[in-house]
Amino acid sequence: MKKLAIGLYAAVTIALMVWGFYQAIYVAPTDAMQGEIFRIIFYHVPSASVAFLFFAVSLIGSIAYLAFRRNRDGWAQIADAWALAGAEVGVVFCTVVLLTGPIWGRRAWGIWWTWDARLTTTLVLWLIYVSYLLLRRFAAGPQMQTYAAVLGIFGALDVPIVYMSNRWWRTQHPAPVFGGSEGSGMDPSMVHPFLWNMLAWFCWGVLILGIRYYVERQHQRFAAIEAQAALNA
Amino acid sequence: MDQRAILDHQFLVAAYAVTWAVQLGYVAWLALKWRAQKRNAARNPNNPR
């Protein structure tokens, strides 16, 4: 039953991805100012939103790990698995943001990169979470999860700064399309394709987040069995 | 199609291709990790299964 539900969810997600692609390429009209290149927004913005969401998952997991690590080890391990899964899948989406943004920038601005507040804070966010993953990969010992949780919390502090950067400072990056100043927004004919892609990327992200969480839990169980066997030997 | 539209199209294709390369690359890495983990668990005599 569980396998059927997961299979069904995966099938719906793939259908949504195909539908989102169709909406982005064939339904959304070409932008009068930017031409075809504007369609990158249908992958770039949802990827950023999902990355932020998963860094928030990592934040909650990290806080929960620190809260439970002394008295509820089972819960702490679950929280740690969510923290790792959130950070890792968040980095994947953030990588997409950092690659698609410059591709758009090269056509729109004539440059691949500029050190403005939005781009720089996003790069810093990505670097913090890459260092989180490197810490988890290469550090050993019982304190590793604690250090990682602290770094995960520290990294999440950058998320609101990235989000607010083009509101607080004048940036080369475009002003916010949604929730920005008066006159911001999107043409209604582009809103539906945008929302379909938001939904599709969200579902895709949740799918791979769930798989990553499951793989990490299996790893934890296996490590616990190994540790018990070593103690018994 | 003028030169600008052709370049726009190429950049759009590049952005979409890069997105899918990153996403599917990660899923492939995850699948390999999962398979290796299952194989190790099956080989380990301590694993109660």
Would the pLDDT of A182 be above 80? no
Choose the closest CB to A229 out of B9, B12, B46: B46
ipTM (interface pTM): 0.90
Rounded CA separation A209/A66 (Å):
21
Query: A227 — contact with chain B (CB < 8 Å)?
Result: no
From residue B43, how far is each of A55, A233, B32, B36 by CA, in Å? 35, 18, 17, 11
pLDDT tens for each residue of A48-69: 999 999 999 999 999 999 999 8
Residues of A in contact with B7 (CB under 8 A): 107
Would the pLDDT of B49 be above 60? no
Looking at every residue in chain A, the average pLDDT score rounds to 91
pLDDT tens for each residue of A159-171: 999 999 888 888 8
3-state secondary structure of A35: strand
Q: Quote the crossing angle between the two packed helices A73-108 and A188-232, to the nearest 10°.
A: 140
Tokens of A96: 């997409």
What is the model's pLDDT at position B1?
66
Choose the closest CB to A211 out of B19, B23, B30: B30
Q: Per the CB < 8 Å rule, is A35 touching B8?
A: yes
Q: Per the CB < 8 Å rule, is A103 touching B15?
A: yes
Residue A36, class by beta-carbon neighbours within 10 Å (0-12 exposed, 13-18 middle, 19+ buried)?
buried
Q: Per the CB < 8 Å rule, is B5 touching A36?
A: yes
Tokens of B29: 């890495």
DSSP state of A31: B
Per the CB < 8 A criterion, the answer to whether A184 and A177 are in contact is yes
pLDDT tens for each residue of A81-104: 999 999 999 999 999 999 999 999
Q: Per the CB < 8 Å rule, is A37 touching B41?
A: no
Output the pTM of the full model.
Answer: 0.92
- Which one, of A80, A210, A81, lies nearest residue A149 by Cα? A80
pLDDT tens for each residue of A100-149: 999 999 988 899 999 999 999 999 999 999 999 999 998 877 788 999 99
Tokens of A215: 């793989």
Domains of chain A, residue spans: 2-174+199-232
The type of residue at A41 is I
Q: Per the CB < 8 Å rule, is A225 touching B9?
A: no
Rounded CA separation A103/A160 (Å):
24
